Structure 1
């Protein structure tokens, strides 16, 4: 069993996932707009280029998302997407890349449980934790 986060956006899903692809050094493996779907004729013209579904490959997990239909988007709250990395330098790089034009909630630093840990909300409103645990 796996858990893969599914993020919803207010019309800027494609920009967010291209940003995540760059920040996380990963690859978008699937991207479908509403105009690509069999039901495209039922979608308002302004939504044809909005994302129906996108998948970003991250190791053995996927980060997925889409644009919420008009009137359905709610600002994310009370959760974080947590990323575990093996090396402190990688944690620093990922944290600072995701923090670009976002808001740092807790600067990345050493804690009693991790060599590096930090929290932020990115420029698209997605909350992230970056964690690099200490060696056992």
Structure 2
């Protein structure tokens, strides 16, 4: 089966966002590439050269990846409305820890609670405008 990953686009704070995600979920970056490291990096402003071209953080069976979507490099960015990464923790304790971490400084749309489909579920928008779903399958 194919591997599914999540790619997040930011408008200049990708590094800050990914350091936050690393703090919440753990792990180590497997790729960090700045625009200055690309073939055309020498043609960019000093500020843009330091932005993230690509960053990758393995999380379980997926890799969370991101970039700084620089102005003029494609359509304008709309935060958090075109996807919702979904996290499936392995325990109730891990679910609460992840949800508390990812929602810190953000907005909770659905507090964690037992749902009709048999899961302990919550939904929030993190402090970077990304919508997250946390879904622990309760096995009885």
Whether the aligned pair in 2 keeps the contact of 1:88 and 1:115 (CA below 8 Å) is: no
RMSD: 1.4
- Give 1:70 shift: 1.4
d(CA) in 1 for partners of 2:79, 2:23: 23
Which residue of structure 2 lines up, in the alignment, with residue 41 of structure 1? 42
TM-score with structure 1 length normalisation? 0.93
TM-score with structure 2 length normalisation? 0.90
d(CA) in 2 for partners of 1:108, 1:60: 23
- Give 1:66 shift: 0.3
Change (3 A) 1:114 1:22: farther
Structure 2: gaps spanning 5 or more residues: none
d(CA) in 1 for partners of 2:105, 2:118: 25
SS of 1:17's equivalent in the other structure is helix
1:1-136 map, 5 Å: 1-70=2-71, 72-135=76-139
Aligned residue pairs: how many? 136
Structure 1: gaps spanning 5 or more residues: none
